[in-house]
Structure 1
């Protein structure tokens, strides 16, 4: 039912609080040292500087590495090893000593800004699960005692397999054995201390372990692809990393609610540049994907995306994110043999030459999100916030003439319909820039053309009877063979009658035209078709004025696996 009053547009209203633009994220690397042929830390420090790498994670608090990184300006994340975690959880004085010896002793010359407490504890040391949050709390308390809590944040890297039912993303939740006992208090701690959730997310391993045929290589690499639709939300994903990140956001929401989301950092993410699967992985569908070309594609897509500020996801389009590539070097001590894929994740060979080209300083264009996207209003926020978003959009460049009384898109006269029209107009006029479809949560981006947004320039393609039945039949056959949905004009279907060549051709031509987004030249058919701007009705069949092609990357229900 239409509201009692007309929707009034306050054209001069200014609502700056509605728009939040994600800042560009920052890229770092994981400096692993499970090898016997790596350069000394001083040479590594210079290598990082020479390549414009501004963040580095190490897997302990090694004094030699921390001294080598002094006075470089490089942000450093140190780690309390798993073997120290129980003592740190048990005794606050142990935590205080650790922070004094491995953090405070090197500040401010070495720019330590993160302490990771443990590493993938749920995966590698599940016996320590219940000690994890107490250990994090004790480390934070030590930072408070030393006056460092504002400068240094406490987190813990979590392997992605802590999230289950991750496909589709909206089903994502934390595993039952850790959800209430560990993840909920951890997330509350991170919120309270202004820290972030560290997730180790590897699309490479999800691709490696997939059920054959469920994940395309381009989808895993973040290359342009046709996408995957979450049928529960209708959000479209063009990147496996996005799908895994959103599964993590949904898992958080199931514990904390949708308004209390902890910022998420991808603290380990990379792609193997070579080698072979170990015996435990042999036969997996993705074993052949470990190559220099694929590693270069994945990591450059990630670098370009993060540094360009394109850090949002379909579910959280304005989320900010840092990421750390694993790893700085190929490490000959990893894996189970000399040619194990786990030895080939490096950006550099141990002699400090690049495995392939990359650039942390001058990013190229990001491949996602796809060019075609729309902004729609979120009914769940209520009419007052929809009205505020509507007023702001109309007052800041949206063309709202089409939803004025008597205009072509005034009906349906609902706040939701008018708000969707206005916020989408604003979003399109802003070049679909990141952050221009948020309106404080009153709108979100979709990647399939939404039926609820009225198009003031709607048009249809109909057949030209004057060309004769033979040319109509030829054009009809061509349209049905090139993407038109001709099911409704089959015998017994909804638009089979009237059973004439011109009626069937009109339906097929229009389907092709709409599916190609009414692009110029898609309603010609060698003169057999023509564009009209008034909705045609042929018998009892009404020609649709838009159509959505759902080209999806198939994914099985369950989780995006990792190891």
Structure 2
């Protein structure tokens, strides 16, 4: 096909890109400080440990005075908890809520930087049937905060388990349990909207993988390079189970018309040890999940469904807890041993990410030593493309980095060069991103750019208009260029 003396030239795209790219507007990492153990260090030592690791957020499961005092002056932001067993009193008696807030928040604030109160924990699965007290308790605690003029600075929410969803797969079909919508979720989401609070959610890809190890790719669960999974409902491609689970919650909220409410992931983690029937529980996989999650969060960017929404995520947990009941994994979610040594080496800060690499194997014993790959791969080849949803500012910043400090080969997209057309920000960014990704060996995390890029497993293609005189000078065959991803993340042909 000829177009005004120009022909369609098929050009191969074999350019590279990669690096740990960090934006200032990335998400935030915190830790859960569980204490169901008899061998943990003192609260003062724990605070020093967190400070030494650059951990600046912590979530508690109570309001222990020793811990709150130890956190005083540390600048570590704190989430405290009103336990499930106190929900009934807080719901029925405003005087109880006032006294609780005064004793556990006002008495320490602002020296102890309390930023939120978690009302209960996974109340819907509480065997003591405390669900009916949740909303009244949240409102009474908020009113008590207002009494002390803290309602704008100390937020109120409640951590929910993923079991609160009636449907979670595919993500686009996410919906809340029908029995909870009217009595709980609608009033809770309205409360969160009015108070500017986020929905607290506990998300554990480990449990989904453990129960479906024959179906779910381990690399998909651990944020490693994988061909991704396309959501048949919305066409979006997911490269991590974590993102898919979060988007299921976002979809459930959207179905109730609460698209504007944010999410805070109050618990997520991976055990370093488990029983023989707990597939995937190992030090290598725990390091891979948590290390790659930290990189995923701190480099910014949201989920496929909400690409511009950075997340605050609390890792579970700070220590292994030797007095917890249940399978072996329950006692081995810790990032540190009680002697304060790391169970495995991962960073918690953007600075630490500069030196971090996920060096664990690309498979686990649970897969028989074989890496499962979903259908649709191209002999293991992958490419990095720009996200159309990233926005001009983020794409431009990422492009500047790739072509500058990142060292991508951007000469072909300069004016007058063979790859300058199509002259669009997305096309140029995709070229630069992929150049950097390939150059760095397609290592996990090198095609992210703060949420401005993602990996595809089929070579992206696009026809380019090239002057006929150039065609005369070139006798070799060419392949087609990409347009950038379509909604399936696979790219689309222009011819």
TM-score higher than 0.5: yes
1:409-468 per-position Cα deviation (integer Å, ceiling 9, x unaligned): 8xxxxxxxxxxx95633753785844669xxxxxxx8957799x963259xxxxxxxxxx
What is the TM-score of this pair, normalised by structure 1? 0.64
Partner of 2:312: 322
Partner of 2:385: 373
**Using a 3 Å threshold, how does the CA distance of structure 1 residues 530 and 78 change in structure 2: closer, same or farther?**
same
**Using a 3 Å threshold, how does the CA distance of structure 1 residues 70 and 231 change in structure 2: closer, same or farther?**
same
Cα displacement (A) at 1:133: 1.4
**Using a 3 Å threshold, how does the CA distance of structure 1 residues 533 and 160 change in structure 2: closer, same or farther?**
closer
Verify the 8 A CA contact 1:349 1:355 in the aligned structure 2.
yes
Distance, in Å, in 2 between the alignment partners of 1:430 and 1:176 is 47
Distance, in Å, in 1 between the alignment partners of 2:153 and 2:70 is 20
Asked if residue 268 in structure 1 is aligned to residue 271 in structure 2, the reply is: no
Partner of 2:408: none
Partner of 1:254: 255
Distance, in Å, in 2 between the alignment partners of 1:184 and 1:22 is 34
Distance, in Å, in 1 between the alignment partners of 2:235 and 2:24 is 23
Aligned counterpart in structure 2 of residue 303 of structure 1, from 285, 294, 304: 294
Partner of 2:463: 455
Cα displacement (A) at 1:312: 1.0
Give aligned pairs, total.
Answer: 402
Partner of 1:346: 334
Task: Between the two structures, name the one with larger relative contact order (CA 8 Å, sep ≥ 6).
Answer: 2
**Using a 3 Å threshold, how does the CA distance of structure 1 residues 427 and 319 change in structure 2: closer, same or farther?**
farther
Asked if residue 162 in structure 1 is aligned to residue 164 in structure 2, the reply is: yes
Cα displacement (A) at 1:59: 0.3
Structure 1 segment 19-38 matched on structure 2, within 5 A:
23-38=25-40
Distance, in Å, in 2 between the alignment partners of 1:531 and 1:131 is 70
**Using a 3 Å threshold, how does the CA distance of structure 1 residues 93 and 219 change in structure 2: closer, same or farther?**
same
Asked if residue 202 in structure 1 is aligned to residue 201 in structure 2, the reply is: no
| Secondary structure class of the residue paired with 1:115 | strand
Aligned counterpart in structure 1 of residue 477 of structure 2, from 525, 531, 534: 531
Cα displacement (A) at 1:208: 1.0
Partner of 2:369: none
Distance, in Å, in 1 between the alignment partners of 2:322 and 2:52 is 24
Partner of 1:220: 221
Distance, in Å, in 1 between the alignment partners of 2:240 and 2:331 is 25
Structure 1 segment 507-526 matched on structure 2, within 5 A:
none
Verify the 8 A CA contact 2:299 2:449 in the aligned structure 1.
no
Distance, in Å, in 1 between the alignment partners of 2:485 and 2:93 is 63
Distance, in Å, in 1 between the alignment partners of 2:246 and 2:63 is 29
Cα displacement (A) at 1:272: 0.4
**Using a 3 Å threshold, how does the CA distance of structure 1 residues 423 and 131 change in structure 2: closer, same or farther?**
farther
**Using a 3 Å threshold, how does the CA distance of structure 1 residues 319 and 426 change in structure 2: closer, same or farther?**
farther
Structure 1 segment 159-558 matched on structure 2, within 5 A:
159-210=161-212, 212-256=213-257, 260-276=259-275, 282=277, 287-309=278-300, 311-336=301-326, 340-361=328-349, 362-364=352-354, 372-376=384-388, 422=424, 424-425=426-427, 428=430, 431=433, 433-434=449-450, 447=456, 455-456=463-464, 531=477
Asked if residue 142 in structure 1 is aligned to residue 141 in structure 2, the reply is: no
Report the structure number with the largest CA radius of gyration: 1
What is the TM-score of this pair, normalised by structure 2? 0.72
